């Protein structure tokens, strides 16, 4: 188990560059399976979830090679369409190969990715969309066998704007016969990045970023080169780290539009935010006003920043209410924040945060990636020392997080127990 040690009380100051988006990279790596050949992905973050997706592609036969933050993906040797259960269970996003394997081979064998700490994470919408395209599913012993002699375009209306379901249906539809329309599609920037990569591959696809994505099936797809977009959740985490420590940080390699919901809330809380073309500067000014947050699909406030925002609002002068509407079990960080001195009460899907709390260090445990980030932020703002256990969760989604915060003046280090 890894432990991160933080001596809090240092305002973060300086500049930090955001890495490439985890949640854009994972579906785009899967999309490489749609054709045979060598694609080059740039600005790829060297994080655990990307390494797991690399394992998935390699077990299917692909060859991958890193060159700094470029990832060269050769899918010409790919011959299998079965993902081993242990890989499926180690990362939910492994299920993103479903659509691409159907598009390439007309079949796929995966297993239920298993729930995780933030919710049950079902796949019913993925399967409903694929069924509409002509896919038949056979489920036994936790395995899901998908088979489609022919993929035919269809009109699909998603019950809710699922990011993964939208992505899987897009990838299955690009080589289907005819037109596919996905309504109530997710609108996240990562969906737009996937569309841009698929279009470079020769797909005929439009509408990503709106609630309706239209795909005209094509008969041939080709490898492509693509630089993934910056990680909007990492950039938001750094903005919140500047805010909670009362620092002054220039966050670089940002697409400000992707952080609009957070920037609006930080301004509402009284922070000084300067927005430039590809950077955002956040300066704390001591006083933090309480705000109310409701997580929603993009462009609403992102659920992946809810734990980190909850940590910040522990320091606000008043009572804030944070309501989680996307996942049913994403309040595990609250108990750990209380150990650091926060005054939070959970009522249903809402956390009532009474501030300002004088946060003081403690030993706390990360339950998942974003909860772990919230605990690091709270530790940075706590008096004396904080230890975050199970810190390996952080490596799933953040590239060199402690190093980035040390460069901003944080007293933070990690011990690794193997
Ligand atoms: C993606 O997960 C992200 N992961 C998540 O980021 C993010 O929190 C989530 O979208 C919401 O924005 C990746 O992109 C790899 P969903 P995904 O399908 O696709 C329910 C992080 O920390 N649902 O949009 O799994 C589901 O249970 C991670 O980077 C169904 O009911 O999310 C949830 O309540 C965490 N049936 C809601 O929809 C389905 O078939 C949203 O899930 C699919 C989803």
Atom 14 in ligand 1: residue holding the nearest Cα: 23
The pLDDT value recorded for residue 116 is: 63
With a 6 A CB cut-off, is 397 part of the ligand 1 pocket? Answer: yes
Distance 123 CA to ligand 1 centre (A): 10
With a 6 A CB cut-off, is 26 part of the ligand 1 pocket? Answer: yes
Where would I find the H helices in 176-331?
189-200, 232-244, 260-268, 306-313
| Local confidence pLDDT in tens for the 418 residues of the chain | 999 999 999 999 999 999 999 999 999 999 999 999 999 999 999 999 999 999 999 999 999 999 999 999 999 999 999 999 999 988 999 999 999 999 999 999 999 886 567 887 789 999 999 999 999 999 988 899 999 999 999 999 999 999 999 999 999 999 999 999 999 999 999 999 999 999 999 999 999 999 999 999 999 999 999 999 999 999 999 999 999 999 999 999 999 999 999 999 999 999 999 999 999 999 987 789 999 999 999 999 999 999 999 999 999 999 999 999 999 999 999 999 999 999 999 999 999 999 999 999 999 999 999 999 999 999 999 999 999 999 999 999 999 999 999 999 999 999 987 6
Atom 31 in ligand 1: residue holding the nearest Cα: 122
CA distance 382 to 385: 7
Phi, psi angles (nearest 5°) of residue 141: 50, 35
What is residue 47's three-state secondary structure? coil
Give catalytic status of residue 116 as yes or no.
yes
The pLDDT value recorded for residue 117 is: 76
CA distance 115 to 98: 17
* 3-state helix vs strand vs coil in the chain, percent to 5: 35, 30, 35
Which residues, listed in sequence order, are joined to residue 295 by a DSSP beta bridge?
A: 301
CA distance 40 to 225: 5
**Active-site residue, selected from the candidate residues 10, 32, 116, 130:** 116
With a 6 A CB cut-off, is 93 part of the ligand 1 pocket? Answer: yes
The pLDDT value recorded for residue 114 is: 64
For the CA of 164, the nearest atom of ligand 1 = 19
With a 6 A CB cut-off, is 326 part of the ligand 1 pocket? Answer: yes
> With 0-12 CB in 10 A as exposed, 13-18 as middle and 19+ as buried, what is 283?
middle
Distance 164 CA to ligand 1 centre (A): 6
For the whole model, what pTM was predicted?
0.98
């Amino acid at each position: 188990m890894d432990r991160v040690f933080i001596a809090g009380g240092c305002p973060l100051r300086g500049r930090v560059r955001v890495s490439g988006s985890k949640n854009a990279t994972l579906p785009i790596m899967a999309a490489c399976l749609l054709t045979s050949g060598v694609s080059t992905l740039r600005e790829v973050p060297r994080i655990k979830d990307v390494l797991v997706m690399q394992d998935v592609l390699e077990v299917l036969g692909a060859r991958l090679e890193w060159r700094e933050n470029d990832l060269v993906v050769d899918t010409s040797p790919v011959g299998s369409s079965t993902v081993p259960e242990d890989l499926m269970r180690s990362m939910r996003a492994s299920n993103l190969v479903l659509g691409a394997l159907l598009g390439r081979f007309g079949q796929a064998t995966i297993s239920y990715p298993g729930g995780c700490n933030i919710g049950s994470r079902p796949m019913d919408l993925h399967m409903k969309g694929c069924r509409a395209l002509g896919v038949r599913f056979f489920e036994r012993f936790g395995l899901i066998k998908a088979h489609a002699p022919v993929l035919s375009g269809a009109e699909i209306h998603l019950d809710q704007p699922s990011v993964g379901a939208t992505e899987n249906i897009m990838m299955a539809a690009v080589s289907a016969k005819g037109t596919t329309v996905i309504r109530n599609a997710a609108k996240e920037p990562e969906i737009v990045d996937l569309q841009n990569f698929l279009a470079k591959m020769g797909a005929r696809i439009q509408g990503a970023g709106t609630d309706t994505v239209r795909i005209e099936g094509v008969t041939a797809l080709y490898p492509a080169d693509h630089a993934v977009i910056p990680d909007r959740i990492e950039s938001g985490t750094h903005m919140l780290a500047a805010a909670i420590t009362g620092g002054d940080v220039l966050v670089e390699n940002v697409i400000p539009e992707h952080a609009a919901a957070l920037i609006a809330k930080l301004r509402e809380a009284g922070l000084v935010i300067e927005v430039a073309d590809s950077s955002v500067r956040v300066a704390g000014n001591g006083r933090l006003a309480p705000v109310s947050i409701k997580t929603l699909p993009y462009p609403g406030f992102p659920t992946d920043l809810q734990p980190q925002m909850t940590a910040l609002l522990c320091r606000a002068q008043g009572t804030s209410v944070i309501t989680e509407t996307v996942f049913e079990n994403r309040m595990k960080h609250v108990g750990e924040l209380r150990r650091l001195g926060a005054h939070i009460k959970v009522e249903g899907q809402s956390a009532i945060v009474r501030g300002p709390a004088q946060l003081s260090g403690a030993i706390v445990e990360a339950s998942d990636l974003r909860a772990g980030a919230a605990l690091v932020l709270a530790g940075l703002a706590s008096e004396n020392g904080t230890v975050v256990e199970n810190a390996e969760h952080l490596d799933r989604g953040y590239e060199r997080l402690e190093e980035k915060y040390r460069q901003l003046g944080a007293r933070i280090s990690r011990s690794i127990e193997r």
